[in-house]
Amino acid sequence: MPAKRPNNPARELLFGDLWEYDPAPETAPAHIAPRYDLFINGQFTAPKSKKWFDSISPGNEQKVSEIALANEADVNAAFAAATAAFSKWSKTSGAERGKYLYRIARLLQDRAREFAVAETIDGGKPIRESRDFDVPVAAAHFFYHAGWADKLAYAAPGRTLAPLGVVGQIIPWNFPLLMLAWKIAPALACGNTVILKPAETTSVTAMKFCSILQDAGLPPGVVNIVTGAGDTGTNIIHHPAAAKIAFTGSTAIGKFIQRTLAGTDKRLTLELGGKAANIVFEDAPIDQAVEGIVNGIFFNQGHVCCAGSRLLVQESVADEVLRKLKMRLRHLRVGDPLDKNTDIGAINSRKQLEKIQELVKSGVQEGAEIHQPACKLPKRGFYFAPTLFSNVSLSHRIAREEIFGPVLSILTFRTPEEAVEKANNTPYGLSAGVWTDKGSRILKMSTELKAGVVWANTYNKFDPASPFGGYKESGFGREGGKQGLLDYAQIV
């Protein structure tokens, strides 16, 4: 039996309101154009629909830019350009394709600060996260796949890899630039050409990325980016020239795409929703685990498909973990995403904020105990305070449905078997976390948890060489690593 932890209250230095953080706004220019056209065949092209829509900054509700609305004719033009470019691009040597990917990565690094500011303005995430995570990891994916481009013969020993053709890709709003890199880099490394549609609420960095493609000298038509809403994505999915569809987004839309493509010969990969369990055992390093819990659910305002939104804590340490979590939440700063002191930025859109509010209300109505620290939310913009729910049961909506916001549901368990049963009691299977000092327990849990990624004594750690993806209603296929590369190739 592990030694019983002393039940001493945590000590905290309290200074009240004696000192306040000075504002530390990021002042680098984002160089956002007032209007963006479509990017087809290597050029910015006015939409045939002759329509644009506004991109609104969630941090202050101000207009950021006007984004072109692509119709069916625009999508057809993009596929025509990609189809024409495929014959030459697919025959380009792997070494040459790798050079283009390497140039793209270097150019993205050169303009990293500019892209980080643009990502924060358009999406609402804190500048620290855009600067230190989104942009560097996006560049890392291009570097990684640049290395694979001339080594495809070694990806499947004894077999040959061939490109699929024209690939349609649809990405979400939570990591716009990073998801773009996850999708485009492996597709180009394997010799495919691309039609990509970013989310309608976060299209700016995708359109800025087009100038990097031009500066890298990428041949026209190899990458085409069309913007719009659901109808634009539907046109991509239905297009007969698409050899593969890659989608990251909600489970509901993923199911629609799967039904639509049933009976066709189009390849499909889906990276969908999640309701990950973050499991803390009584022998875990509690202070380290608390930081991991905070990172797991409040990173990017909880707009993360693999967010650790269900916390499972062993009963013997549940009170201690909850007490330390409440203390930690008091020191999280919610506010201007461009301020370098901000921990939690803006919710991506009014629609998403209303969804979070509705689910939190259901948690209160169903009897869970809510805790929100006292914090001043900006008067303009879409913001939500970091939220904990204790006394949560598996039947509560907040324990079953993906909230996609800064809301943590806390459940308890007594034995490892109960932890596994509760963790797996979900239609999702994207990720999980385990906190314990026993390596054998970590290995055992990793084999029993039905999750594509299991983190041990950490959370939200990503690497381009490590495959990412899920099971059950979290989708199928992998992104990153050799496994993600093979999803963009025929093995012949």
Active site residues: 271, 305
If we measure between CA atoms, which residue out of 405, 466, 452, 428 comes closest to residue 272?
A: 428
Residue 76, phi then psi, degrees to nearest 5: -60, -40
Using left for φ > 0, alpha for ψ between -120 and 50, and beta otherwise, residue 277 falls in beta
The pair of structure tokens assigned to 366 is 């169903």
Q: Is 4 exposed, middle or buried (0-12, 13-18, 19+ CB in 10 A)?
A: exposed
Distance CA 173, CA 248 (A): 10
Q: Give 460's contacts (C-beta < 8 A, 6+ positions apart).
A: 295, 296, 299, 304, 306
Longest Cα–Cα distance of the chain, Å, equals 71
The pair of structure tokens assigned to 429 is 């299977």
Distance CA 286, CA 268 (A): 41
State the amino acid at position 304 in one-letter form.
Answer: V
**Pairing status of strand 43-45 against strand 475-476:** unpaired
If we measure between CA atoms, which residue out of 86, 74, 76 comes closest to residue 38?
A: 74
Distance CA 54, CA 203 (A): 10
How far, in whole angstroms, is CA 20 from its chain's centroid?
32
State the amino acid at position 252 in one-letter form.
Answer: A
Q: Give 92's contacts (C-beta < 8 A, 6+ positions apart).
A: 191
The pair of structure tokens assigned to 256 is 């629609």
How far, in whole angstroms, is CA 481 from its chain's centroid?
17
Q: Is 66 exposed, middle or buried (0-12, 13-18, 19+ CB in 10 A)?
A: middle
Q: What is the DSSP letter of 154?
A: G
Distance CA 167, CA 243 (A): 6
Using left for φ > 0, alpha for ψ between -120 and 50, and beta otherwise, residue 349 falls in beta
**188 within 8 A of 147, measured Cβ to Cβ:** no
One-character DSSP codes across 94-105: HHHHHHHHHHHH
